[in-house]
Amino acid sequence: MNRLQTIAEFNVWQSALAGRWDETAPCLRVCDGTGCRALGSQKVLASLREEIQKAKLETPIEVIGTGCPGFCECGPLLTVYPQRISYQKIKLSDVPEIVQQTLVKGAIIERLLYTDPQTGQHIHLEPDLPFYRKQKRLVLDFNGRIDGTRIEDYAALGGYRALAKVLGSMTPEQIIAEVKISGLRGRGGAGFPTGLKWEICSKNTKKVGDGYIVCNADEGDPGAFMDRSVMEGNPHSVIEGMIIGAYAMGIHQGFVYIRSEYPLAVENLRIALRQAEAAGLLGRDIMGSGFDFNLAIRLGAGAFVCGEETALMASIEGRIGEPHPRPPFPAESGLWGKPTNINNVETWANVPYIINQGGQEYAKIGTEKSKGTKIFSVVGKINNTGLVEVPMGITLREVIFDVGGGIPGRKQFKAVQLGGPSGGCIPAEHLDVPIDYESLTGLGAIMGSGGMVVTDEDTCMVDFARYFMTFTQQESCGKCVPCRLGTKAMLTTLERICAGGGQPGDVEYLLELGDDVKNSSLCGLGQTAPNPVLSTIRYFRHEYEAHIIDKKCQAKVCKGLIHYSIIPEKCTGCLVCLRNCTSNAISGAKREVHVINPQICTRCGVCMNVCKFDAVVVN
């Protein structure tokens, strides 16, 4: 397409696209995000197109690969428009039936519908799914509706209108004021007020005459994938947010720092950048406003610490991804010594909405100090694994039980880990706490980037803390002593406890170490790394003590504290466990009671899984 020369030209182009956009037309929308792709959505997409051609329908039916709508548990997802019939867990073999039954005859295929576990009833339409009912989708709104790699789709739904609005009718000061009114706070974890950050950076940029903006897309928390899905499904919203921010701060160069573990997000972002440049929405003289802005992608090479802003900047500059102390803060001296404003993907993606609807309107959502919505990736022991966008102030109980559908297998909820390896766990007694930055911090957790790992009664909290400690210890850059050696000391102690070698005083030692690593480390990684340990000790100290003193792991997870045995009365001598044992630890002959040798047994649990007579028990 030709570059749009003026805002008037943009308006003509955009309203033409909006006029043509029709969600009442027959269309199939298939999730083409990473999660559904892993489950085969690309083959489903290709096959759908093929079958539709074969079927020679009277009206053409479009098939769109969309961004992730969030219900990853039930992928690959297919929504049949205009009715919005929601089909789930589509297999390649279901495709001919979908075309013949639903598209040709207009019949609904019951077995592909979602079944409400509470009522046992099939739910036909996407808006009626309980998973979506309590959500409020501002950032994820277009995910599931548009093809993220088509700028026309984004523009048809009002994309880049916020940019046209600011370039045509707002001063940089007005934009910053609007963002301040909205109450938007950084979605990367720390929750610094975005408007204030922009104001500080803009002042420094004016002084120096130059600066940079950065989008932090180095999402690395285990179990967090909201930024990935936004970039895959709606990359233009991030780009638009960044151009608006750049204009507000008087900056002409931006970077998206994205981890190379996200190939699809990188690809879609590249496509989106090319489209925006071709359309004249990026680059020189955007829409004839005289404002120039270039945006480049920088790939991270797999270091978690590069999500920390100072390490991120070092990495962009081509130096070792190590943090450096603040002050100076990036807003004063960031990339190549110039004022730099760094925001997270989700923060940038919120900006177009704020400009379009106004800060006032945005501030109506949420609590007094935490405004707007937040995307959480709900994973772990939960029925509806996926991405949920909820208004701030909603309770954890609503997110986990109403949206997330509760815990599978009638198990008891134990705790939820918020904020990934930097956050803490929140036990059942605090489930009714409203989600906002302050409440979560008060409970020893953090909002973080929005990873929510749910655990149930079968999760050992010591082992859980050990898992996160393994992660942070491996990801510590090693520059400062408390983080490099303190996390190692904590991990070694936890491993010893899990292996049955816990000693009295270990908990106190962990608390002392944790306190030191938190207070003395150089950057955010070390300063938050002990949180999973400290919060599990705070709420589940009895589990630590059971491991150390009684040498018992109640959840039967820690291999050093459990042993498998066979109940002679139940064993039929069928040889199944013996044949399946990976370490030849089981002895016995046909129709004779089998015996597990604890010296050889590796506690893998295969024997228990294969025994049909429940004869294998773990203690």
Partner 1 sequence: MIHLTIDDKPIEVAENRTLLEACREHGIHIPTLCYHPALEPYGGCRLCVVELSQPGRRSRLVASCVYPCEEGVVVKTNSETVIRSRRMTAELILAGSYHTPEMLALGEELGVKEVRFKLPEDNACVLCGLCVRACKEIVGVSAISVIQRGIAKKVATPFQVTSSRCIGCGTCVLICPTGAFKFESVTGFQYVSPLESAYRLGYYRLGGELDLRPHFVQDVAELLISMKEEE
Q: With contacts defined by CB under 8 A, how many residues of the chain interact with partner 1?
A: 32
486 near partner 1, judged by CB under 8 A: yes
Q: For residue 112, what is the DSSP state?
A: G
**Cβ closest to partner 1, residue 481 vs residue 575:** 481
149 near partner 1, judged by CB under 8 A: no
473 near partner 1, judged by CB under 8 A: yes
**Among the listed residues 273, 271, 276, the one whose alpha carbon sits nearest the alpha carbon of residue 286:** 276
Q: Which of residues 507-536 bind partner 1 (CB under 8 A)?
A: 509, 512-513, 516, 519-522
Mapped onto helix, strand or coil, the DSSP state of residue 427 is strand
**Cβ closest to partner 1, residue 108 vs residue 489:** 489
Only one of the segments 197-205, 217-225, 363-371, 482-490 lies at the binding site for partner 1 (rule: CB under 8 A); that segment is: 482-490
**Closest separation in Å from C-beta 26 to partner 1:** 53
**Closest separation in Å from C-beta 311 to partner 1:** 11
Burial 43-80 (b: 16+ CB within 10 A, else e): ebbebbeebbeeeeeeeebebbbbbbbbbbbbbbbbbb
493 near partner 1, judged by CB under 8 A: yes
**Closest separation in Å from C-beta 423 to partner 1:** 20
Q: Are 86 and 113 in contact (CB under 8 A)?
A: yes
305 near partner 1, judged by CB under 8 A: yes
**Cβ closest to partner 1, residue 248 vs residue 312:** 312
Q: Which of 121, 474, 584, 602 binds partner 1 (CB under 8 A)?
A: 474
**Alpha helices for 83-171 (secondary structure H):** 95-97, 130-133, 151-156, 161-169
| Binding map of partner 1 across residues 325-354, x = CB under 8 A, - = no contact | x-x---------------------------
Give the separation between CA 486 and CA 502, rounded to whole angstroms. Answer: 18
**Closest separation in Å from C-beta 476 to partner 1:** 4
Q: Are 14 and 296 in contact (CB under 8 A)?
A: no
480 near partner 1, judged by CB under 8 A: yes
Q: Which of 157, 278, 485, 618 binds partner 1 (CB under 8 A)?
A: 485
**Alpha helices for 120-187 (secondary structure H):** 130-133, 151-156, 161-169, 172-182
**Closest separation in Å from C-beta 478 to partner 1:** 4
**Cβ closest to partner 1, residue 336 vs residue 509:** 509
Q: Are 289 and 167 in contact (CB under 8 A)?
A: yes
* C-alpha distance from residue 343 to each of 17, 42, 102, 309 (Å): 30, 32, 44, 9
Q: Are 188 and 308 in contact (CB under 8 A)?
A: no
**Closest separation in Å from C-beta 216 to partner 1:** 19
320 near partner 1, judged by CB under 8 A: yes
**Closest separation in Å from C-beta 488 to partner 1:** 5
Give the separation between CA 505 and CA 170, rounded to whole angstroms. Answer: 62
Q: For residue 569, what is the DSSP state?
A: T
Give the separation between CA 236 and CA 253, rounded to whole angstroms. Answer: 17
**Closest separation in Å from C-beta 417 to partner 1:** 22
- Phi/psi for 511 (5° steps) reads -65, -45
**Closest separation in Å from C-beta 543 to partner 1:** 22
Footprint on this chain of partner 1 (rule: CB under 8 A): 303, 305, 320, 324-325, 327, 473-482, 484-489, 492-493, 509, 512-513, 516, 519-522
